[in-house]
Structures are given as C-alpha cells and as structure tokens.
A = this chain, B = another copy of it.
C-alpha cells in the first residue's frame, strides 16, 4: 500500500468536504489504486497548525474543525511554510486559502514554494492558474511534479482532465460558456419575478453568493475562469485584464424577464476565439436564442461549449455545484497524480 501524505493550507468548507470524501471513498481507493491518503498537516489562520508526519486521524480532525476548535496548538506563520512542508513529509500540497482577486496571491507564492520543495500542488483556487499558469506548470514539470486545478472552473465537472485525457490531437478554436453560478442563478430568479436585490439575497441564502457578491456580478470571477481556459485549452496566455468585461449589475430585471419571454434570454457569456490577430475574448451579458444549449443552463448550473478542428461542437456541463462537487475536483486531481506515479 503506497501512502500519499497531504498538506492542507487552509481548512474551510472545501478542505473539510475533501476530507469527508476521502474517508467515504477510502476502501474503494485502496482497492482500485492500492493507495492511502493520509493528512500529515493542516495549517490555518483561525484553527492553528496541526502537524504529524505519521498521519493524523482524519475523522477527529474533521470533528475539531467543524466544532470550531483549534486543530493544533501551534500558530500559523506563513513564513514557515517551507519548513512545515519538510516536517510534514507531505507528497501533495493542497492550497485552499483566501486569495486576492487581482493577483492570485498569496496562493501563487504558496504553490511556488511547495513545487520547489518537490511536492505536487492541487488547488480549487482560480488565482494561481489565472495569473501564473505557465510559470507554475513549467516549474512543476522541471520538478517532475504536477500543478493541477480541476476544481477551479466548473467545480468537479471534468474540464482540464477532459481536455488532457480525452481529446488527444485536438485543437480548440473557440470557447463559449456560462461559468459563473451566481450570476446565472440571479438571471434565473429575476426571470421568475424577483428584483435584483431579492435575487442576490436568495443566492446568499442558498450559500452561493458572498456577502459582497461584487466579483460575481461584475463578471470578474467569470473573467478569471475565461483566462484559465484560454491559457490551458487554447495554449494562449491571456491576462484577465486583457479580457473585455461587462457585468450584469446594470441590467434591469424587467428587461431580463422580457428577454426570456421573447425567447432571447440573457446569459453572462464567456467567449474566447482564435482570430488572425491571436485571440479575442470577452465576458458580458448577451441575449441568446432559446435553442442555444447555453440557454438551457438554469440556476447554479454551468456549461462549456468547445469548437475544435475535429469535433465541431463539444459540450460539457454540470448541475448543482456544492462543496462536495468542488472537493471531487480536488480528489480527481489527487487520483491523477496517483495514476501518473503508477505509470512511471
């Protein structure tokens, strides 16, 4: 039985959902891949630092974190990350801290540190892939390690693994997508009759919108995701600031309702298309025909439509995102690393 030791930096909803999923799938993973995942460190601002290179009791860890207790007595100091990584003997670094929306920091720095120390890095954060994909990918390659972020776009729905594993020798020429759950949910609720503020409140009630949903409403979240897709699927580095962006905040709910009634509903459409000049990308509310598959994306669902040189139209979509589906994206990255290593 090969052991994979995990280092969690940040241990909020997603980290805990991943722990639960690993516990749930433990015997299946053992039977199928012959491996065990073991948590050897959890480092958090609020709950302190727990570290045991022999492996911690995951169920006990969950219980402590969920009841609001400290998971360890030591306190968090980011400057010590490299030492902790060493002490934890971890194979995989799971970065799940809060990141700055304009720079991807401090997640980018954390992942750089982990890759340099010879760990694989896995994250559900968009920042690292949106702002530093090429650097981190190349650093990972130079270390014979992986930098993976399946959960950063469309949660656990296969996007990057779909491209990497199931579309060999395909060239992606165009992307159209609905990538932001919150704005899509707002459109759906406004179409049902709510005004903008009521729709935002409804989104907050079901836990998908932040207290301040500005990064969703102004299109920034969707823009970061579009930048990642352009960089990874189209091999075209694009800084998020280079993407033409328009939010949904200025739309009148009555116009949203009328548009749906007239069969031309609004969606926050993300686009990237190869052009003679390179790549043209945008994120903006667009009215699309009801027959467009993107028009069928309701509530919190997301959908990605690819135009490629061999498949004219390939669609992948996911419904009902939750911490569990995000955690599955992380787990599928972990299992990608396991399978990789088994091939060496």
Chain A residues in contact with chain B, CB under 8 A? 21, 25, 28-29, 32-33, 156-158, 161-162, 165-170, 290-293, 295-296, 298, 301, 303, 310-320, 324-325, 328, 331-332, 335-336, 339, 343
Decide: B169 and A335 in contact? CB cutoff 8 A: yes
CB-CB under 8 A for A313 and B320, given A291-B296, A298-B291: yes
Instruction: Report yes or no: A314 in contact with B157, Cβ–Cβ below 8 A.
Output: yes
Given A162-B162, A162-B166: A325 in contact with B310 (beta carbons within 8 A): yes
Shortest C-beta distance, A172 to chain B (Å), equals 14
C-alpha spacing A320/B314, complex, angstroms: 9
B168:A332 contact, CB within 8 angstroms: yes
Query: A165 is contacted by which of B161, B310, B312 (Cβ under 8 Å)?
Result: B161
Give the residue of B165, B293, B324, B331 whose beta carbon is less than 8 angstroms from that of A166.
Answer: B165
Copy tally for this chain in the complex stands at 2
Which of these, B25, B325, B343, contacts A311 with CB under 8 Å? B325
Contact indicator B21/A310 (Cβ below 8 Å)? yes
Question: If A320-B313, A325-B312 touch, does A166 touch B166 (CB 8 Å cutoff)?
Answer: yes
Measured CA separation A29–B168 after assembly (Å): 9
In the complex, which residues of chain B have a beta carbon less than 8 angstroms from the beta carbon of A324? 310
Contact B291 A293 (CB under 8 A): no
Closest 3 CB pairs of A and B: A313-B319, A158-B166, A165-B165
Which single residue of chain B is at the shortest CB-CB distance from A21? B310
With a CB–CB cut-off of 8 A, which chain B residues contact A312? 319-320, 325
- Knowing A165-B165, A291-B296, the reply to whether A328 touches B303 (Cβ < 8 A) is no
Question: Is B161 within 8 A of A32, CB to CB?
Answer: no
Q: Do A169 and B331 touch (CB < 8 A)?
A: yes
Separation in Å of the A343 CB from the closest CB of chain B?
A: 4
- List residues of chain B with CB within 8 A of the CB of A303: 315
Give A332 to B163 CA distance when docked, in angstroms: 12
Contact present for A339 and B28 (CB under 8 Å): no
Verify A328–B310 contact, CB threshold 8 A: yes
Shortest CB distance A285–B (Å): 20
Given A28-B169, A162-B166, A169-B29, A315 contacting B317 (CB threshold 8 A):
yes
What is the bound-complex CA distance between A314 and B320, given in angstroms?
9
